[in-house]
Amino acid sequence: MALSTGSKRVKTAVFISGTGSNLKSLIKFSKLKKSPISIELIVSNNPKSKGLHFGKIFKIRKKIFNFKKQTITEKEILLYLKKRKINLICLAGFLKILSKNFIQNFDGKILNIHPSLLPKYKGLNTHKRAIINKDEHSGCTVHFVNSKLDSGKIINQKKVKINKSDTPQSLAKKVLAQEHKLYPKAILKIFSL
């Protein structure tokens, strides 16, 4: 399915599980004149996600789904998204792995941000692994989501230098600051293609 804005902004849902700092940066971006998206919905699998409070601050609908029975939950989410005419999903620190079936239902319309220079360090603990391997750089990647974890087509990346004194925490902080710029840029890029 091709992404197209037409004259209207594309209705977007952001999926989170935690702090939601990328969610916040996406919301701020979505309010700019140049933004091709409007964020209509925040989805979380975790009622304790700190990021949910951005729903209240920015008056965006929130919806929590319990993933105990993932197949059923995903069907419910798909129905809900359809009802709300959501046409783009941005994963932003969403810790559940969506099924092939779910992804096929939103083919080419799910994006993710990952804290490494993919294809290096798929999965978790990316900063720790980069430091242990004495890499010179870490970074972040925005990519389309396909059915293989962190393996979809790359949209854009940003390198971040690793200093000798960096810990996984200090590196995560530096990379996160870049993530907040990279995700909006990725969205502008895919809609200008």
Q: Which residues are catalytic?
A: 114
Contact 147, 103 (CB under 8 A): yes
Point out which residues bind ligand GRF (CB under 6 A).
16, 18-22, 51, 92-93, 113-115, 140, 176, 179
Shortest Å, Cβ 140 to ligand GRF? 6
Q: Which is closer to ligand GRF, CB of 16 or CB of 117?
A: 16
Strands of 10-16's sheet, edge to edge?
61-64, 37-44, 10-16, 88-91, 110-114, 137-144, 154-161
Contact 162, 118 (CB under 8 A): no
Shortest Å, Cβ 23 to ligand GRF? 6
Q: Which is closer to ligand GRF, CB of 75 or CB of 180?
A: 180
Shortest Å, Cβ 35 to ligand GRF? 18
Q: Which is closer to ligand GRF, CB of 86 or CB of 171?
A: 171
Contacts of 145 (CB under 8 A, 6+ apart): 91, 98, 103, 110, 111, 112, 152
Q: Which is closer to ligand GRF, CB of 109 or CB of 114?
A: 114
Question: Which residue sits closest to ligand GRF, CB atoms considered?
Answer: 93
Shortest Å, Cβ 6 to ligand GRF? 29
User: What DSSP line would sit under 48-100, residue for residue?
Assistant: T-GGGHHHHHHT-EEEE--GGGHHHHHHHHHHHHHHTT--EEEESS--SPPPH
